[in-house]
Structure 1
Amino acid sequence: MYNTLKLYRFNILIPLRANILRNWDYIRKWRLRKISDRQLVNILGVIVGFLSGLSAIILKNTVYYTHAFITSDFGFGNNSFLLFFSPLIGILLTVLFIRYFIKDDISHGISKVLYAISKNNSLLKPHNTFSSMIASTLTIAFGGSVGAEAPIVLTGASIGSNLGRIAKVSYKHRTLLIGCGAAGAIAGIFKAPIAGIVFTIEVIMIDLTMATLIPLLLSAITASVISFFFLGDDVLFSFTLESSFDLSRLPFYAILGLFCGFVSLYFTRASDYTESKLQRIGNPFHRLLVGGVILGIFIYIFPSLYGEGYDALMLMLNGHGTEVVNQSLFGNLQMSSFMFPLILLVIMLTKVIAMALTNAAGGIGGVFAPSLFMGGMSGLFFTRTLDLLTGIRMPENNFVLVGMAGVMAGVMHAPLTAIFLIAEITGGYQLLTPLMLTAAISFITIQYFEPHSIYTKKLAERGELITHHKDKAVLSMMKVTDLLETNFKTVFPDATLGEFVKVVASSERNVFPVVDKENNFLGVVFINDIRHILFQQELYHKIFVKDLMFMPDVKVSPDDTMEDVAKLFQQTAHYNIPVIKDGKYLGFVSRANVFSNYRKLLKEFSED
């Protein structure tokens, strides 16, 4: 048997592999001759859009039918005790899948994408093309209080990254393909191509030029066409305009924007606080049990917290917001007029905690759907409270819709994404003016307290975030080890001035690192500092290098970022800085070499 397998390997597998590599090399060379990089990225943009849109459809349908199977065939209903156990089971299945099959952290998908762009050369692992889809299906279908959008964005971005890696495109084009994947994912899952493009520009932070816009357009259009083909042309939330936009209501939309800004602030900080508290539990299964039980209690009391919450949003948009409260354990109570908005407020407060518990306990999902849910609840709470306190009645479903944009704009720090997404998924373009006003005020409000979005906050705290600033993006592509210069002549501290002069005569540099026999860095000698004694031969045997050297005030490590190195050059007058690791001398980085490479990369990064 062994000999048969050995013959099979040598006679079939090895020649087949060699043949595939030879053909692939021929295809690559043909591509380089016939297809420009820009044309290749456009073609790959269409492919990425197709695959991302298809992935969004698969995820959407998988979540829907799994959820329907669980809730229908096992007798789920409001206040059923199965609501208590179901999220725990779903998160347990998710944890087992990740722990024993994937063996990698796949939580917080959009933050993972931003980290890959910032710190991992825009490379995402191949398993990200499917792992988040499976994990989020298990989490959401069983009742985890999160959305499917972040996992599908990670999936689309990973498709773009890995196609770019296979095609051997540059970092710049691989980053653009990640953006194409994100745009295709949003366009596919929401049937909202404009929102997909704007999301990529605002959140994924792809610079907008004609060279980047065309692939993004192609990807978003392809994904949305695939979505329309398989899912029909209905919008995600059917919405009937209760009353047309009235200019007299504009001040109330402005107040709603302010309110949504503070709701967004609560959303961000309560989510961070809850996750950090639960993650202090070291054992993942203990953490799962604690988080899953608390989540189950919340969902048992408020069934509208189950899953993404889109059913509750549909009720609110169609003027049946009372049903959201009636589904809860409080639905059968005789409620005073003050009780209804109070219960709405409690549901809003617990939704964020339920979302954070789901993620911290080990579930996989994002903040898209929870932010839309919170926005809809904010609009409903605002209108009911306004009516209760002042007797002024506002069109409920209009304010629910606008509130969705307000909270999304604040939580994600993406007002344009919120405006266009809500307009596209509801067909609510008639309310574009209040959408814009509320989203803008919400964004301004939260930005005063939180300069970074829920996606970027922790990355920014760890210094792992690249923004739209090209200089940071370029510096992140440079490494100290790549710019290390080693043509500096080293000298020993016990060398005489005469011996040092001989070293100077054979050196091209004017800086001389001083090391011992174990290559430990002891200091440097600058020619300019000792030029006045170099030719005094009577001192050649009296003065030693240790009398001339000094320890420089700044040093860098090969692990330091180029941003830190650039700051040192900016803050000091040094032209060369020694590179030291564990006390050992490695070489120097020079101001001229750093900025020469910076200009070269900036030119490549900026070319369209």
Structure 2
Amino acid sequence: FILNEIPFFILLGIFSGLVSYYFTWAAMYLEGRFGKVKNSYLRLVFGGAILGLLIFIFPSLFGEGYEALMDILHGEGETIINQSIFKDFIENKYLFLLLLLLILIFKVIAMAATTGSGGVGGIFAPSLFMGGVSGFFVARFINSLTPFKVSESNFSLVGMAGIMAGVMHAPLTAIFLIAEITGGYELLPPLIITATISYLTINYFEPHSIYTKRLAQRGELMTHHKDKAVLSMMKVKKLIETNFNPIHPDATLGDLVKVISSSSRNIIPVVDEDGTFCGLIFMDHIREIIFKPEIYRTTFVRNLMFMPETTVSQQESMEAVAQKFQKTGKFNLVVLKDGKYIGFISRARVFSAYRKLLKDFSDD
């Protein structure tokens, strides 16, 4: 480590922060797109096809990338391109730098294709790989396009700390982990500089780590806000009520009266033969006509039902459900899954479960 290299480590910190932001944004976006593909087999085919194509172009993307990292740290960084179909462009310094950028871009896509399609993958190994390649890119850029010369292996190590600090929002963890990997503290000053600047850079664009965002997306994030923490522990599936008697939209008023006579609830869900939700009937809305037998055969359910403006999905967080109750003022909301009727969730049951959990939460 040389004091004259401090500006370059600052540059590496800024670059690492921007790469970390791309890492977080692209991973969340692509995993979200994969999640919209409902068919798990189709999702697997898409993920496999994307991953296979990327590995064919850049074989160094396969696996954790530890072998590629070791090559970079041993001064043989060209091997990560040498295995690809672009190996003939290694001698061209401009194209070589462009290929390194493409590896950084494609690594995140490959990671998201793996996890999004149902494969097993994590954040730690890809962040190390991205950090090593980022540091190598900055060092090769400096060595190739400026009169200065820097250690590519040192910049790769420091780049690992930069990406880890940015992606995980954990600069201290990144600093000491990479310091332990090196077996000494000669690189501690540049590690501190790069990791800190990387963290500050990504924090300007994205204040939450990818781990926090994933937990929040699944509604499992525990916060210091007690209400939100309790709601995050509640699941829609466990609060669904199914003791509502459904009726077909083509049924007559006479059929509806028979259903009402055996029902203990004042809401009748209208469901077709496929289980698709068609609408609702409130007893209060038909009270005036249920005592007119002369129209029992000529009045149909489809003319009496209405489609509610607000519904609930099984996958929704309880915080979102609570907001819907507050916004609509309703006491019951229908729960659907892909348009199919599942049941209802009631304000009273949610409040009862919330009160019980809050008591347990407070006692702990």
TM-score tier (shorter): 0.5 to 0.7
Q: How far, CA to CA, are the matches of 1:425 and 1:444 in structure 2?
A: 24
Q: How far, CA to CA, are the matches of 1:445 and 1:287 in structure 2?
A: 34
Local SS of the residue matching 1:332: helix
2:103 matched to 1:351?
Answer: no
1:317: which partner in 2?
73
Deviation at 1:301, TM superposition (A): 2.1
Cα distance, 1:376–1:561 mapped onto 2, change above 3 Å: same
CA deviation string 1:384-416 (max 9, x = no partner): 112223221111111100100111111112212
Deviation at 1:476, TM superposition (A): 5.1
Contact 1:376 1:404 in 2 (8 A): yes
Aligned-partner residue type, residue 288 of structure 1: L
2:26 matched to 1:275?
Answer: no
Deviation at 1:335, TM superposition (A): 2.9
1:374: which partner in 2?
130
Q: How far, CA to CA, are the matches of 1:312 and 1:275 in structure 2?
A: 25
2:183: which partner in 1?
427
Q: How far, CA to CA, are the matches of 1:470 and 1:285 in structure 2?
A: 39
Cα distance, 1:391–1:286 mapped onto 2, change above 3 Å: same
2:248: which partner in 1?
none
TM-score by length of 1: 0.40
Contact 1:474 1:598 in 2 (8 A): no
Map 1:533-548; keep pairs closer than 5 Å: none
Identical pairs, percent: 51
Ranges in structure 1 where 5+ consecutive residues have no aligned partner:
1-244, 480-517, 521-558, 569-577
Select 2:88's aligned residue among 332, 338, 345. Answer: 332
1:117: which partner in 2?
none
Cα distance, 1:439–1:300 mapped onto 2, change above 3 Å: same
2:11 matched to 1:251?
Answer: no
Deviation at 1:587, TM superposition (A): 9.6
Map 1:209-608; keep pairs closer than 5 Å: 245-333=1-89, 335-461=91-217, 463-467=219-223, 469=224, 471=226, 475=230, 580-581=331-332, 601-602=361-362, 605=364
Cα distance, 1:284–1:586 mapped onto 2, change above 3 Å: closer
Deviation at 1:584, TM superposition (A): 8.0
Contact 1:475 1:598 in 2 (8 A): yes
Aligned-partner residue type, residue 276 of structure 1: G
Cα distance, 1:560–1:323 mapped onto 2, change above 3 Å: closer
Q: How far, CA to CA, are the matches of 1:268 and 1:588 in structure 2?
A: 34
Q: How far, CA to CA, are the matches of 2:171 and 2:55 in structure 1?
A: 30
Local SS of the residue matching 2:91: coil
Contact 1:478 1:562 in 2 (8 A): no
Contact 1:579 1:589 in 2 (8 A): no
Q: How far, CA to CA, are the matches of 2:59 and 2:134 in structure 1?
A: 18
Deviation at 1:248, TM superposition (A): 2.4
Aligned-partner residue type, residue 32 of structure 2: S
Contact 2:222 2:229 in 1 (8 A): no
1:17: which partner in 2?
none
Q: How far, CA to CA, are the matches of 1:353 and 1:478 in structure 2?
A: 32
Q: How far, CA to CA, are the matches of 2:37 and 2:126 in structure 1?
A: 25
Aligned CA-pair RMSD: 3.8
CA deviation string 1:482-503 (max 9, x = no partner): xxxxxxxxxxxxxxxxxxxxxx
Contact 1:475 1:563 in 2 (8 A): no
Aligned-partner residue type, residue 351 of structure 1: K
Deviation at 1:272, TM superposition (A): 2.4
Cα distance, 1:374–1:589 mapped onto 2, change above 3 Å: closer
Aligned-partner residue type, residue 412 of structure 1: M
Q: How far, CA to CA, are the matches of 2:61 and 2:317 in structure 1?
A: 45
Contact 1:474 1:601 in 2 (8 A): no
Cα distance, 1:463–1:296 mapped onto 2, change above 3 Å: closer
Ranges in structure 2 where 5+ consecutive residues have no aligned partner:
235-263, 267-315, 334-344
Deviation at 1:421, TM superposition (A): 1.9
Q: How far, CA to CA, are the matches of 1:432 and 1:564 in structure 2?
A: 48
Map 1:189-204; keep pairs closer than 5 Å: none
